[in-house]
Chains A and B, each alone.
Chain A
Amino acid sequence: MRTLLIACGNPLRGDDGAAHEVLRLIAPAPDRATLTVHQLTPELAQEMAGFDRVLFLDADVHCGRPVVEPVPAWTSRSPLTHAANPAEILALSSALFGFGGEAYVCRIPARDFAPREALGPDERRMIDEVAGELERFLACTVSSRPRAGSSAKQDDFPHPVKADVGVGCGPGGPPYSPARATADKSNKD
């Protein structure tokens, strides 16, 4: 499953660079491509074409714990600036460039976007954990999840796709298990 990982954020704005840091820890693989960007812009719609799965990584001050979830369905709005959100990019990519794969967003908890080059200490500690869970997510090569951008509710998913650190894995990949995630973390520590 060809996967594109797009890390969004500004490394000069403290925790906003968390996604870039996570991406640095993800092991390269022949079926993976990565992009680091400051913000999501329309031309990413074309970059997505040709991939089976796209994962947007972004720091988020509104989430208390790391979350991976399908990109929600796009609803019309009025973008005011150059920046866009994953749903808008997904809509553009599907409509203009034929993207038909899965799309997810990984929200990484963050607190402080003040100008500085380093992450906060808590965020720094969390990076390894997030990267490890993403590796597990990326190991899922076949998915039974609904297509990204669908209107399916989270309850409809066969496996939890919005969970603390955890991600859903479809048939063919290792099922998500909070207990195993904990065990893995213990081993790593």
Chain B
Amino acid sequence: MSTRIVIEPVSRIEGHAKISIQLGDSGEVESARFHVTEFRGFEKICEGRPFEEMPGLMSRVCGICPVSHILASSKAGDMLLGVEIPAAAAKQRRLVNYAQLLQSHALSFFHLSAPDLLLGLDSAPEKRNIYGLLERDPDFLRRGIRLRQFGQRVIELIGGKRIHPAWSGPGGVHRRFDTAQRDEILAWIPEALDSVTLALDRLKGVLDSFGEEIAHMGNFPSLFLATVNREGGLEYCDGAIRIIDGEGKTVADGLDPTDYSSWLGEASEDFSYVKFPYYKPLGYPGGCYRVGPLARLNVALFAGTERADRELREFKQRRSGPVCESFHYHLARLGEMLHAIERIEELMSDSELFEETIQARASLNRRTGVGSCEAPRGTLFHRYDVDANGLMLRADLLIATGQNNYAMNLAVDQTARHFLRRITPGSQPDEGILNRLEAAIRCFDPCLSCSTHALGQMPLVVEWFSPRGTRLGQIARPS
């Protein structure tokens, strides 16, 4: 008799999701899927509201990466106004985006994934968390906490608060940057660089012990999509989209992100509230792609900063073509943190950042505005259609995690097929195996919502169902 295994909720990710595994009559894995089970409806909430309100409203989509939504939303607003924003505003946005990248990646690596990576995927679940790290390596954990704090502090200094800062809007930003802020930020830089370098060394030092996971937890060729600058280097705010395939060949280059809806489509599946974006010329699912740190490092030709370029060269030497192992999202994330810190330091000596003019003033000049940027988890697009009074007729958000949806499902399926192999009737999967299924998802660091309430106390429950839906068994992981 075939059996279904359900892992719900998937732990140490942002938001609410579950994994289900369908086993065949003889216990072999038939399929595995990653389901996103929450529904937000922000696009509907926006209808009828003035477009100027969108950055503040859209930032509420997420408590981890609100800055990305503010940036994409502000840029869509810039387009509706038909303005080019002042250099100081553009550089502030860039600075805050790097800070957000840093704090979000620090959370992902040090708080959520380091327990797996440094304590082991099979370590005791009650120790496999930051409190286990606290016992094993307090200095490492302290550095991780302070790195995230640095990123948040930069956001707070510039945006006024660390979560949902409403300092940016259509036409520019609302607060000037000053030398006191610069001095505080500069004081953090040496420690931040040291901490990321240490984390890189630690991760590289344990990679050999994860050979099987690297090879079988989301290792497959796919398209990779990311923003690049004019020279083809890493870019997080303003640039064009490049897509490469699993062999490294350029599939598309110089794509205008404001025109994304003409070359990206979205398919739906009945098991998830998140859609499955794809590159239209290749159809669904052949045009599905990966975004985020792994994609950015695969797509970019260079980083443009000294330390990050050194890491990027080493990263690219891992394979003759693109690095296709999803496990290496972790490595890519750390490389990006290094780059973000270097860029933040560079910006501190950029005189344009301190200029007085921070707002371009105009009234509504267009009826459609599109903004995009590289969020920590990948490329983010906001498109707004407004009426003659600037009231929202329609909002369309294409969020990074959604663009990794197909790849996350492939990763879960591959992990289940390799590590679960065959479950004999009456037996239960090993907890470490179940953790690998979750770890496959954590590689992507999905951000499924900004939901904050009550989730922290939720236990992990794995339930077994017959094909007719009868529960056959349950494993509960304590909260």
Contact = CB atoms under 8 A, between A and B. Distances in A.
Interface in A10-53: 10, 12-13, 16, 37-39, 42-43, 45-47
B12 interface: yes
Contacts of B455: 80-81, 83
Nearest to B144: A42
Majority secondary structure, A binding face: loop
Nearest to B151: A43
Given A77-B479, A96-B138, A39 B126 contact: no
B310 interface: no
| Most chain B beta carbons < 10 A, residue from A13, A39, A74 | A39
Interface in A55-106: 74, 76-85, 88, 91-92, 95-97
A46 B145 contact: yes
Given A43-B152, A96-B138, A78 B128 contact: yes
Contacts of A137: none
A74 B478 CA distance: 16
Contacts of B142: 96-97
Contacts of B456: 39, 79-85
B11 A80 contact: yes
Interface stretch (B129-137, B232-240, B387-395): B129-137
Nearest to A113: B453
B454 to A, nearest CB: 8
A81 B145 contact: no
A35 B70 CA distance: 22
B134 A81 contact: no
B129 A39 contact: no
Given A43-B152, A46-B146, A78 B126 contact: yes
Nearest to B108: A82
Interface in B99-139: 107, 111-112, 125-131, 134, 138
A45 B107 contact: no
A76 B127 contact: yes
A12 B164 CA distance: 13
A12 B60 CA distance: 10
A83 B452 contact: yes
A39 B148 CA distance: 15
Contact of B134 (A78, A85, A96): A96
Given A43-B148, A77-B479, A95 B134 contact: yes
A79 B453 contact: no
Contacts of A97: 142
B107 A79 contact: no
Interface residues of A, number: 30
Interface residues of B, number: 39
Contact of A79 (B131, B138, B146, B152): B131
B453 A82 contact: no
Given A46-B145, A46-B146, A80 B131 contact: no
A121 B300 CA distance: 55
B29 to A, nearest CB: 25
Interface string B15-28: 00000000000000
B129 A38 contact: no
Contacts of A39: 63, 452-453, 456
Nearest to B458: A80
A78 B452 contact: no
A89 to B, nearest CB: 11
Contacts of A96: 134, 138, 141-142, 145
Contacts of A13: 453
Given A39-B452, A92-B134, A80 B145 contact: no
B149 interface: yes
A16 B453 contact: yes
A38 B63 contact: yes
B14 interface: yes
Which of A37, A39, A74, A79 has the most CB atoms of chain B within a 10 A radius of its CB?
A79
A132 to B, nearest CB: 27
Nearest to A79: B129
Contacts of A113: 453-454
B449 to A, nearest CB: 11
Contacts of A85: 456
A37 B128 CA distance: 26
A47 B156 CA distance: 14
A114 to B, nearest CB: 11
Contacts of B458: 80-81
A1 to B, nearest CB: 24
A69 B112 CA distance: 30
B171 interface: no
Nearest to A42: B145
Interface of A: 10, 12-13, 16, 37-39, 42-43, 45-47, 74, 76-85, 88, 91-92, 95-97, 113
Interface of B: 9, 11-14, 60, 63-64, 107, 111-112, 125-131, 134, 138, 141-142, 145-146, 148-149, 152, 163, 452-456, 458-460, 477-479
25 contacts: A10-B453, A16-B453, A38-B452, A39-B63, A39-B456, A42-B130, A42-B148, A43-B149, A46-B149, A76-B126, A76-B131, A77-B478, A78-B126, A78-B479, A79-B129, A80-B9, A80-B455, A81-B14, A82-B111, A92-B130, A92-B134, A95-B134, A95-B138, A96-B145, A113-B453
What 10 pairs across the A-B complex have the smallest Cβ distances?
A: A83-B456, A80-B11, A43-B149, A96-B142, A38-B452, A39-B452, A42-B145, A81-B456, A78-B126, A81-B455
